[in-house]
Structure 1
Amino acid sequence: MGDYHVILYVSPHCDNCQKARQFLENRGINYEEKSIRDPGARGELRYKTGRIECPTIDVDGHIVVGYLPEKWDHLLAEEPLRMT
């Protein structure tokens, strides 16, 4: 896997958030978890996406709202979005 900065936005009692954690952990991906219960994290998520929906993953500024494993796999592939 590539070397990414991954942020996972979650909310309490969210089944898909737990699936998202398992997805990342099963792939050995280090991530920073932010709870939308925290006003700073909630505001940050709203700024990035225009809404508050969990789980949301942010991989080096590329965001997918919702637990969508196929899209997450694409973002976390060996060579994604690295063209400059």
Structure 2
Amino acid sequence: MPRVEMYTTPICPFCVRAKQLLAQKGVAFEEHNVMLDPAMRGQMMERAGGARTVPQIFINGQHVGGCDELYALDAKSGLDPLLAGEPA
């Protein structure tokens, strides 16, 4: 089972889209709401190489990026292997 972490805010449409794709794939994920938590946002930025926007998605500790990157990875058939534990 992959470990998927997603830093989000409740008002972000890109977060909703990313969650929808993961749900379609039957993948559970751990969600970190950064909206009112500056420490959590700082952790996200540190892990994501300074990225400030949400979502920021990590699969098995590997930074995937945001919603667009997640969908691009899926479009080039790279998401399923990553979710299966294979390196990208």
Fold-level match, TM-score > 0.5?
yes
The AA in structure 1 aligned to 2:33 is S
Q: Is the 8 A contact 1:74 1:80 kept in 2?
A: no
Instruction: Give per-residue Cα distances to partners, 1:3-27, cap 9 Å, x unaligned.
Output: 2111011123111110011111111
**How many residue pairs are counted as aligned between the two chains?**
80
Q: Which residue of 2 aligns with 1:20?
A: 18
The AA in structure 2 aligned to 1:42 is R
- Output aligned runs, 1:45-64, within 5 Å: 45-49=44-48, 50-64=50-64
Q: Which residue of 2 aligns with 1:39?
A: 38
The AA in structure 2 aligned to 1:74 is G
- Unaligned regions of 5+ residues in structure 2, if any? none
The AA in structure 1 aligned to 2:22 is L
Q: Which residue of 2 aligns with 1:8?
A: 6
Alpha-carbon RMSD across the aligned residues, in angstroms, is 2.0
The two structures have a TM-score, normalised by structure 1, of 0.79
Q: Which residue of 2 aligns with 1:74?
A: 78
CA–CA distance in 1 between the matches of 2:39 and 2:72? 29
Q: Secondary structure at the match of 1:42?
A: helix
Same amino acid, percent of matched pairs? 28
**Runs of 4+ residues deviating >6 angstroms:** none
Instruction: Give per-residue Cα distances to partners, 1:14-44, cap 9 Å, x unaligned.
Output: 1111001111111110100011122332121
